[in-house]
């Protein structure tokens, strides 16, 4: 078996930080914040206005020209990715029977998590709602090409 | 005749099935999130690329699948509150069963409000 379960109520035998405990606390704290971030995200993007029909490049451009939505989406990206990856880690720990496979899966999970958080963060920070040379009708109405 | 052991918080009955559902919905949302970060990243490539991919979200097939995603998020988030209450509220364990049905009710009501509106966007 890959996981050694200690006797209940035995004193802690390891030294150093108790990462499992911090993970446990993080799942609950991030979960409570994600309720507002994720349900608010679904409400604004899928329920208000024309819902899914209205979502296109100009819609995203409009939202991300407001720092409020940039901060919202960045917080949601980081918290949901870490919460989801840590949840998947728990599941892998539960079901993987070979230690090498368990290690490989957990390492891949955090690798994918790091790549997607980096990608998503760069996208939000380097986003240009009015890229040069794009078709004007695909851009938000506030772009200079659409001003006249 | 030995009798069957009664269900406990995490064994049998509501305690167990709420956990199974929480796990399944968590995994489903996780894999959607991976795809969703990638498709959103296309805004950095070109408006055409982003619009082409996001338009598939408006098709009837994916549009209906989104209802499944919303249902999963509603259940997972409401049951997440139930888990936090079980862990931190003195009476949490005592009321875990009724809290499960409250979770299901809230999720169902919000889902029932969301669904007709979303379908009218997808098929309208
Ligand atoms: C919307 C608000 C959310 C709340 C309130 C919430 C709450 C929770 C809680 C309390 C746990 C249990 C952690 C534990 O037992 O240690 C959990 C597990 C989990 N969550 Fe979430 N979560 C939310 C959103 C998400 C999202 C967006 C994802 C996916 C990216 C996700 C994926 C998972 C996974 C995979 C697990 C592990 C399930 C298991 O171990 O059986 N959750 N969540």
Tens of pLDDT along A33-72?
999 999 999 999 999 999 999 999 999 999 999 999 999 9
Please count the structural domains in chain B.
1
| Residue-range definition of the domain harbouring residue B27 | 14-123
**In-domain check, residue A87:** yes
pLDDT of residue A9: 82
Mutate to test the interface with B, among A26, A29, A42 (most CBs of B within 10 A): A42
**In-domain check, residue A118:** yes
The whole-angstrom separation of Cα B89 and Cα B76 is: 19
Mutate to test the interface with A, among B23, B26, B29, B33 (most CBs of A within 10 A): B33
**In-domain check, residue A6:** no
The CATH number covering residue A29 comes to 1.20.1300.10
**In-domain check, residue B2:** no
Distance from Cα A80 to the centre of ligand 1, integer Å: 9
Q: Is B111 exposed, middle or buried (0-12, 13-18, 19+ CB in 10 A)?
A: middle
A104-139, pLDDT tens digit by residue? 999 999 999 999 999 999 999 999 999 998 999 999
CB atoms < 10 A from the CB of B3, how many?
5
Residue A1 has pLDDT above 60, yes or no: no
Please count the structural domains in chain A.
1
**In-domain check, residue A117:** yes
ipTM of the complex in this document: 0.91
**In-domain check, residue B92:** yes
**In-domain check, residue A78:** yes
| Among B23, B33, B55, beta carbon nearest to A91 | B23
**In-domain check, residue A10:** no
**In-domain check, residue A8:** no
| Residue-range definition of the domain harbouring residue A68 | 21-141
pLDDT band of A16, cuts 50, 70, 90 = confident
**In-domain check, residue A47:** yes
pLDDT of residue A2: 65
**Cβ within 8 Å, pair B51-A116:** no
Report the Cα A68 to chain-centroid distance in Å. Answer: 17
| Among B55, B87, B122, beta carbon nearest to A28 | B87
pLDDT of residue B7: 60
**In-domain check, residue B105:** yes
The CATH number covering residue B101 comes to 1.20.1300.10
Pocket of ligand 1 (CB under 6 A): A 24, 27-28, 31, 34-35, 38, 80, 83-84, 87-88, 90-91; B 22-23, 26-27, 29-30, 33, 76-77, 80, 83-84
**Cβ within 8 Å, pair B33-A88:** no
**In-domain check, residue B41:** yes
What is the mean pLDDT, run by run of 10 residues, along chain B of 124 residues? 65 88 98 98 96 97 98 98 97 96 98 98 93
Distance from Cα A62 to the centre of ligand 1, integer Å: 30
Spell out a b/e string for A48-80, using b for 16 or more CB atoms within 10 Å of the CB, else e. Answer: eeebbbebbbbbbbebbeeeebeebbeebbebb
Distance from Cα A15 to the centre of ligand 1, integer Å: 28
What pTM was estimated for this model as a whole? 0.91
């Amino acid at each position: 078996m890959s996981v050694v379960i200690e006797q209940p109520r035995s004193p802690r035998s390891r030294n150093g930080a108790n990462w499992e405990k911090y993970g446990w606390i993080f799942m609950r704290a991030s979960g409570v914040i994600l309720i507002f971030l994720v349900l608010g995200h679904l409400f604004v993007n899928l329920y208000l206005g024309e819902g899914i029909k209205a979502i296109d490049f100009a819609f995203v451009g409009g939202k991300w020209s407001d720092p409020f939505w940039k901060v919202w989406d960045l917080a949601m990206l980081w918290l949901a990715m870490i919460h989801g990856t840590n949840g998947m880690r728990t599941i892998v720990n539960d079901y993987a029977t070979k230690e090498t496979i368990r290690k490989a899966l957990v390492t891949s999970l955090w690798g994918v998590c790091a790549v997607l958080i980096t990608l998503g963060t760069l996208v939000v920070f380097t986003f240009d709602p009015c890229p040069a040379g794009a078709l004007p009708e695909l851009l938000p109405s506030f772009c200079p090409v659409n001003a006249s | 005749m030995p009798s069957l052991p009664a269900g406990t918080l995490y064994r049998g009955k509501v305690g167990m099935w709420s956990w199974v559902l929480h796990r399944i919905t968590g995994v489903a949302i996780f894999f959607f999130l991976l795809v969703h970060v990638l498709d959103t990243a296309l805004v950095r490539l070109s408006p055409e690329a982003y619009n082409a991919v996001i338009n598939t979200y408006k098709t009837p097939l994916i549009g209906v699948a989104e209802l499944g995603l919303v249902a999963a998020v509603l259940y997972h988030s409401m049951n997440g509150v139930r888990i936090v209450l079980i862990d931190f509220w003195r009476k949490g364990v005592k009321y875990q069963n009724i809290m499960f049905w409250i979770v299901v009710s809230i999720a169902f009501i919000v889902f029932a409000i969301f669904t007709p509106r979303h379908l009218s966007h997808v098929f309208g």
